[in-house]
Chain A
Amino acid sequence: MSAHPHPPMGLLDDPVAVTGIGVILPGAASAGEYWEVLLRGESRAATLSTVDTDGLRVRFGCQVHTDPTAVLSTRETNRMDRFSHLAMYAGLAAVQDAAPPAELDTDRCGVILGVGLNGMATFDREYRRFVSGQPIHPLFIPLAMPNAAAANLALRLGWYGPTLAVNTACSSSAYALGDAARLVAAGELDMALAGGVETPLNMLMLTAFAGLGALSTGNDEPHRACRPFDKDRDGFVLGEGAALCVLERLSSARRRGARPYALIAGYGRNGDAHHLVAPRADGDKARWCIAEALRDAGLTPAGIGHINAHGTATQANDVAEARAITAIFGESPPPVTATKGTIGHLIGGTAAAEAIACLLAIRHGLIPPTANFQTPDPQCPLDVVAGKPRELPPGAILSNSFAFGGHNAALVFAPAPE
């Protein structure tokens, strides 16, 4: 692999800081509630109440029960699919948290949003109308197009910089955060709103992901179904939600007295070029991706105090990820947690939800436990935090994302200097 053209983000004189966060996730209508959910370490999975699951092989998931339209006008609500509703809720909360200055140059502010699918609720509803001979909604395209959520946020905020929808499946929002950080670091943007969203909980997606053999089939005990790195794991649980961050240069945050959650100090990305839905068994390209994120952060492996794993709880992914981690960190890697055990797998939104878990871990000095981890798997020789939170060791946090399509990404979050 050739040398990277970007100067290492972790060595910049003026690094990229996260100054605002916003979420709407299973069991959490705010970042504070999300932290409480994570610390409890209990899965939010339950039998789905808003989806007709009769006859489906998988009948549960991690749902958002908060009404996201409370922050929208009726006109906005009608013009948006549910994935835009969730993105708007979390995005506006992140901006409110960052409290940008009134004199913000909105030509230099952008929205970069990871989305793995699109407006699935609209697709589901309108396709049923279409095949039953009814007219389809004239706003089908602006409701459902995958870039709609990013565009709706830019429209509401009046931000005129680049507005991007990033799709690299389950790592979409890691790419969104990493690329946004690069745009801020390069001086192309003064402020970026970046993260991800997904709303995959409908009959079609439950059937499709189950057809791949990717989902747990633990219908009888949904709350015990997702078991990252556990020997008895049998797949992931679909979840929905949105998580977004406001990024700006540290100097900008300091000038206006904002308190950063942390720095985005490193970003690595590459491709497996191996298989559409299976990781390389040896984890070698994932290993390279982690190594690149460390290089970008200017860190050796010893500089990492904790890893937020991709941890999908599929047999193949967890083993490949464990191999990548041990190849970098040796036989005693830093303590690992896997957020998907608690809130499920949000596909395009999942990496951003995990990034915010890292930011909250740095702020509170704790590692949340991995839900449902009970029986260690000899093929995954990791120090998995389970049962209760653990004190966060010194150092930075690595967050891994390895997606269908072989889209690998790794982010490094470091405490902001005082």
Chain B
Amino acid sequence: MANFPSLDEVLRVLGDIIDRPVTGDVALADLSVDSLDLLEWSFTLEDKFKLALGDELIAAVDYGKPLGEVYDAMLAVAERAQAHA
């Protein structure tokens, strides 16, 4: 998928924002990420990778899923967006 970031790249963007390393095993809730971090994270991903995040991502974040699963939700959103393009 053109321009779609790898999990490592997504986690690096978040890590830069919250100023600490992030792995795919950790849930956002465990990182003390707040609403402004999430806004900045989703904006940066959209700006950098042209990736608009959808409800699946928000739901995955709300339910405290590990970031690897959040990434899978992002991938699913991106795939559907590409299919509809």
Contacts and interface: CB of A to CB of B under 8 A. Distances in A.
Contact of A139 (B19, B36, B46): B36
Nearest to A142: B36
Interface range on chain A (Cβ under 8 Å from partner): 10 to 19
B36 A74 contact: no
Nearest to B46: A135
Contact of B18 (A75, A134, A138, A142): A75
B43 interface: yes
A74 B16 contact: yes
Contacts of A128: none
A135 B40 contact: no
Contacts of A280: none
Contact of B40 (A73, A134, A139): A139
Interface residues of B, number: 12
Contacts of B16: 74
B36 A73 contact: no
A84 to B, nearest CB: 14
B17 A75 contact: yes
B43 A135 contact: yes
Contact of A75 (B19, B42, B43, B47): B19
Contacts of A79: 36, 40
Contacts of A73: 19
Interface of B: 16-19, 36-37, 39-40, 42-43, 46-47
Given A73-B19, A139-B39, 14 more contacts: A74-B17, A74-B19, A75-B17, A75-B37, A78-B17, A79-B36, A135-B46, A135-B47, A137-B40, A137-B43, A138-B39, A138-B42, A139-B36, A142-B36
